Amino acid sequence: MLNFYMISSGSKGNSTVIWDEDDLIIIDCGITMKKFSEKTEKFDLTDVDKSIFISHEHSDHSKGVKTISKNINADVYSKGKTLERLKINGYNINGETAIGNFNIIPVSVSHDAADPVVYIIKNRGIKISVVSDLGKVNESLINEMKNSNIMAIEANYDIDMLLNGKYPLNLKNRIKSDHGHLSNEQSAEAICEALTENTSIVLTHLSENNNNPDTALSTVTTYLKNRDKKYKSIECASQYYGSSYYKF
């Protein structure tokens, strides 16, 4: 059985857990050990091998990695430049990594970090895409995301809310740049190209100031409906409650 649960998603911290009977794969550790324990104690994860994959060095994705990896005895994987920035002696991932029944594929993306990636996770015919912190989506990423059973993808901001909001101009420009974050519309376009009728969509990394769940869901669902695209389910992950629990 394969399991997926997003512990937390947003600018204050991100972390996702994916596991089967043998291994736990943790994507990002931008949370405390306390929160990690509280959110995962309902699952029996004591007897599985544990591995952490960090997407990039920004603190909302990495600030808990040293403490969590030490406490749960997990190996840490990331790009070499990211490990250097974090001062972590982990495993440098240069391509697809096999761990038990898992294959973890890093895909380079455009973001203002040292060497940012997103992750495509495969396990015995199930595919999960965990995609956030990127300013644009290219065709190679779309191709990797295609036929995902779960597509957890960033919908960071509503363009009107961002432009009319309180952020200074330089920050607004950074967010909407090719090295920033995905808008609701950009997320909808990428989802539309990659989904199937069996895809569960999880919108992630919503800005607390420049977006809200109703706006993100409305933008994406309307975009897909107008193009007659079918999917299995859709939800917004939150900073405090994470996502629903999925199992296959």
Average pLDDT along the chain, 248 residues, taken 10 residues at a time: 97 97 98 97 94 98 98 98 97 96 98 97 98 96 98 98 96 97 98 98 98 98 98 97 97
Distance CA 62, CA 75 (A): 14
Distance CA 4, CA 132 (A): 16
pLDDT at 66 (0 to 100):
98
Are 184 and 219 spatial neighbours (Cβ–Cβ below 8 Å)?
Answer: yes
Distance CA 92, CA 33 (A): 24
Distance CA 240, CA 225 (A): 29
pLDDT at 44 (0 to 100):
87
What is the domain class of 3-243 according to CATH?
Answer: alpha beta
